[in-house]
Structure 1
Amino acid sequence: MRKAYKNFIYKTLILAIVVSAPSCKKFVELGAPPTQILFADAFKTDASAQSVVLGLYSNNVTTSTIGNFTFLTGISADDLQYNSTDPIFQEFANNAITTTNASNANSVWGNSYSLIKNTNNAISGLTASTTLTPSVKDQLLGEAKFIRAFVYLYLVNLFGDVPLPLKDDYSAFENAALPRTSSAQVYAQIIKDLTEAQASLPVAYVGTFRGRINKYAATALLARVYLYQKDYANAELQATQVISSGVYSLPTPDVAFVNNSNEIIWQIGNLTGISLFGGNYVTVGATTIPAFSLSETTYRSFESVVDLRRTNWVAPKTVSGKVLYGISKFKLSSGTGNEYNVVLRFAEQYLIRAEARAQLNNLSGAKLDLDAIRTRAGLPGINATFNQAQMLAAVEQERKVELFGEWGHRWFDLKRTTRADAVLGSLKPTTWKSTSVLYPIPQSQILINNALTQNPGYN
């Protein structure tokens, strides 16, 4: 939002200079720099329009989501352990984030709204274009709307009510002064974007390695959104569409994250084949300490030493007498390899449907879904006599040991099930407060936009 505001001011100043300049017989028109194209021209051809949308993947999605939405939320929960001393990160680990925290202001809030600004520009340009091939236009609109919905889903879960800009840069001044929109309205927009994306995206992946969003990616994220909204019937319906598609499967845990895995629904590609996850999790050498490791609490929560997730996805090591539980879902941290940044996995869809079915009291159906996940992990099926409460507890446990270290699942699970106080209050008794379930609105943004209000507990 801050960048959008600056862009608007810059354009306004240029216009003012031109308008106030002495009258001339003829203005010299320089046009766009040779390495750039005008905004309208970007959406005249299929190739240029695709370049705009691919830019959303290659730059902003990676920088503004993977690290911020995974590592910061992981240490906010009982999921990840932060192994350094940076006070900015320690605030997240202690659930005592200050309103001036730079990562919260710039990396989480700032980068997210920068990406939303870019997607709004893309959606506006694509919608207005009359020269694109219809199928290409539909696909690109679907991808952009998915990305916007994805970012808003994280923002509304991190901050609660948030501003909801939906217009392009021509409304930058208006966007910069927006108040916070209710979470209900933000969720309504997320569902609208994903439903429209679902309708316009192809089933078949474009390109290789499932690096671009398809219809099932939109369906998978929509299933998550409905689960978070406690719309269990629709959560089950959407997850079932993905599960019954026949496109995906559950390979053994040791190969679940390689870039040709059939479990992957969507991943963000890179040039090296080395994921950001691997770079921050993998422990190389006897004395190397990773930036983030699995918390001991989560490691101890595996119910069996034969769980293939524990043996394949966790690598304990002792450094200077201290045991660290390295995360080895991704195996590589440097050089070149075959791992991209996995965003959506097939396993989550079984867990979504299991929880939705348990909430709808379809306990046998919930058991079938949990058993699919447990069978892949080399574990026996869930007890068939479990009641609803026991089945929901089993779902929480499976989500904890299946999705650790990925995209803040544990943080959001504790919040949406109102379990955060019970779990994190006991683990972090000196710093945890009930209001810690929301991050603070950055003070720098409140100073820029006086329509914003602060979350409880941070005034």
Structure 2
Amino acid sequence: MTFNKFFSGAAVASLMGLGALGTSSCQKDFIELDDPTRIPTADSYTDSLSVFNGVTAAYSSLQDLYGRGGGSRGWFIFAEIPSDNSYTVTSGERLNEFNDFTLFADNQHIQSYWLSTYRTIARCNLILSRAGGVKLTDATRNRYYGEVRFIRALAYFNAVRIWGKIPLVTQEIQSIQDAYPFGRAAVEDVYIQIEKDLDFAEKNLPVTQTGNNLGRATKGAATALFGKVLLTQQKYQAAADKLALLATGSTYALQATYANIFATNNEMNSEIIFAARYTKGTLGLGSAFTTWFMPAYGTTQSTALLGAAFTGQQFNTVDNDLIAAFTASSASTPTLPDLRAATSYVLPAGAATTLGYYTKKYIDTPTSATDAENDWIVLRQADVLLMYAEAVNEASGPTAPALTAVNQVIRRSRGLPVATANAAVDLPAATTQTALRDRIELERRLELNFEGHRWFDLVRTGRAIAVMNAYFIRTAAAGTTPNKIDQDDLLFPIPVQEIQTNPILTQNNGYK
């Protein structure tokens, strides 16, 4: 992996803005309470190297957005734990509140992700504010702008899906008074800014990144995220047109074997469009997903899985309902079982089923409990194919291009060549719009499990309440009242600390 080289020379720069922000005032006003939108580095951007390091610091922030040992638990607590894919055994960290839909606004993980989001955005805004005064070629400056505008768009896209209306900050915050007016902007305004950022990024980022730049945002990453943003807003034809650039193109390709997507010796492979990158060692840049997600297996079982004995934290455990979905998928084509199951979950020999199954997508031998090699894949080609099929199906019905895109994913799941038609598994030409819609939902669950898509897929398609309430009934213990969610549960609470700090912020419905 080149991520450690990618960060070399910028370790100090990556810390800018992470510390508490002190002022000379003795009052505990807004900025002194650790305002993440302000970074006191006005004199730090004077040459091309300092701008490069600042852009690298923005990339470093992605580790907080997707999960960092000793820091934010990251994206999975919003995107997987509330879904029917996984559950958490841990209550001491209050992760169970995400699992049970019993969240309170003072949950520390809500606050942590909010701070991580706005620190990321602040780093991007600082580059956009300061790099204009540094001597750079126009192409280099616009490439840097494209990179941070992509990162800012990604941060805002995650945030608007978590909280709905959010503060929209697009410039550097230089004073306490500048920070106060930022209340919650309309969702539509947030999406307008996201689209502007991605349009710029798409026009100014390179098609590929190589060498020490491998992992930086590309034109394809901007296109894929743009398509997902349009799809989320139900702009189906626009999404189909955007995603077609990748779904029918040759820049990215499905890996022949599903398991190879996640191998740590095959990172940034042909299928990966963008990932939050990690590298293990002594740099503090490793990922924690290996042990965070593993159940509390014994020494023998954990050693067999990871090559060394580690204690699983049980933060994100495979739900039996997902296993049942895989079992049904294989049963639908008995002679061609769903090969994704073997990578999606495992129970080590000798481990009790009561401990739970483990996703194999994040297996590595860590150097410590929170120092493994696994990247967090944000966008990959199979995701694009299924989004493209969804957009086409909603805009035009189950046309041949939509069926072809889904069939590629299905064929790979059965170990078949993706470009060759196979009547045993392919969806028939007579597939209805409703049937294709249902199959896309299923394929996205099976294909992308534990990659941070399931909950927001259900919300995007308007299916979250029906699917989750049916799941609660299906999995409720005998004699107990099933859990039940409603419209208020589709957004997460604004952190109470932020509302107490800035009274113009308001709370989402249903939270205290």
TM-score (norm 2): 0.78
**Structure 1 equivalent of residue 42 of structure 2:** 39
Q: 1:455 to 1:339 in 2, by over 3 A?
A: closer
**Structure 2 equivalent of residue 436 of structure 1:** 489
The alpha carbon displacement at 1:418 in A equals 1.5
Is residue 329 of structure 1 aligned with residue 365 of structure 2? no
The alpha carbon displacement at 1:72 in A equals 3.5
Q: 1:80 to 1:173 in 2, by over 3 A?
A: farther
Q: 1:343 to 1:150 in 2, by over 3 A?
A: same
Runs of 5+ unmatched residues, structure 2: 1-16, 28-39, 68-72, 303-310, 332-336, 416-424, 473-481
* Percentage of pairs with the same residue: 27
**Structure 1 equivalent of residue 395 of structure 2:** 360
Larger relative helix fraction = 1
Which string of whole-angstrom CA distances, capped at 9 and with x for unpartnered residues, describes residues 132-172 of structure 1? 12222111101100111101101111111111111103255
Is residue 267 of structure 1 aligned with residue 279 of structure 2? no
The alpha carbon displacement at 1:248 in A equals 1.2
Q: Pick one of 71, 88, 92 that aligns with 1:86.
A: 92
* Contact residue 227 and residue 243 of structure 2 kept, 8 A: yes
The alpha carbon displacement at 1:174 in A equals 2.5
- RMSD across aligned C-alpha pairs, in angstroms? 2.7
**Structure 1 equivalent of residue 79 of structure 2:** 73
* Contact residue 344 and residue 449 of structure 2 kept, 8 A: no
* Contact residue 66 and residue 376 of structure 2 kept, 8 A: no
Cα distance in 1 for residues equivalent to 2:161 and 2:65: 16
Cα distance in 2 for residues equivalent to 1:227 and 1:313: 26
**Structure 1 equivalent of residue 259 of structure 2:** 254
Which string of whole-angstrom CA distances, capped at 9 and with x for unpartnered residues, describes residues 426-446 of structure 1? 334335333111101111111
Q: 1:172 to 1:122 in 2, by over 3 A?
A: farther
Cα distance in 1 for residues equivalent to 2:397 and 2:321: 31
Cα distance in 1 for residues equivalent to 2:443 and 2:85: 13
Aligned residues: 430
The alpha carbon displacement at 1:344 in A equals 1.5
Is residue 226 of structure 1 aligned with residue 230 of structure 2? yes
Q: Pick one of 301, 306, 321 that aligns with 1:286.
A: 301
Alignment of 1:277-356 (within 5 A): 277-282=289-294, 285-286=300-301, 289=312, 290-302=314-326, 303-304=329-330, 306-317=337-348, 319-322=351-354, 324-335=356-367, 339-356=374-391
Q: 1:204 to 1:163 in 2, by over 3 A?
A: same
The alpha carbon displacement at 1:46 in A equals 2.1
TM-score (norm 1): 0.86
The alpha carbon displacement at 1:40 in A equals 4.1
Q: 1:378 to 1:49 in 2, by over 3 A?
A: same
Q: 1:438 to 1:320 in 2, by over 3 A?
A: same
Q: Pick one of 458, 462, 470 that aligns with 1:426.
A: 470
* Contact residue 499 and residue 506 of structure 2 kept, 8 A: yes
Q: 1:6 to 1:86 in 2, by over 3 A?
A: closer
Which string of whole-angstrom CA distances, capped at 9 and with x for unpartnered residues, describes residues 342-382 of structure 1? 22211111011000111123412211010010111117112
Q: 1:435 to 1:199 in 2, by over 3 A?
A: same
Cα distance in 2 for residues equivalent to 1:4 and 1:332: 29
Cα distance in 1 for residues equivalent to 2:490 and 2:373: 36
3-state DSSP class of the match of 1:326?
Answer: coil
Runs of 5+ unmatched residues, structure 1: 15-36
3-state DSSP class of the match of 2:346?
Answer: strand
Deviates more, 1:242-251 or 1:201-210: 201-210
Which string of whole-angstrom CA distances, capped at 9 and with x for unpartnered residues, describes residues 161-189 of structure 1? 11111110325533343111110110111
Is residue 371 of structure 1 aligned with residue 407 of structure 2? yes
AA at the equivalent of 1:229: Q
The alpha carbon displacement at 1:212 in A equals 0.5
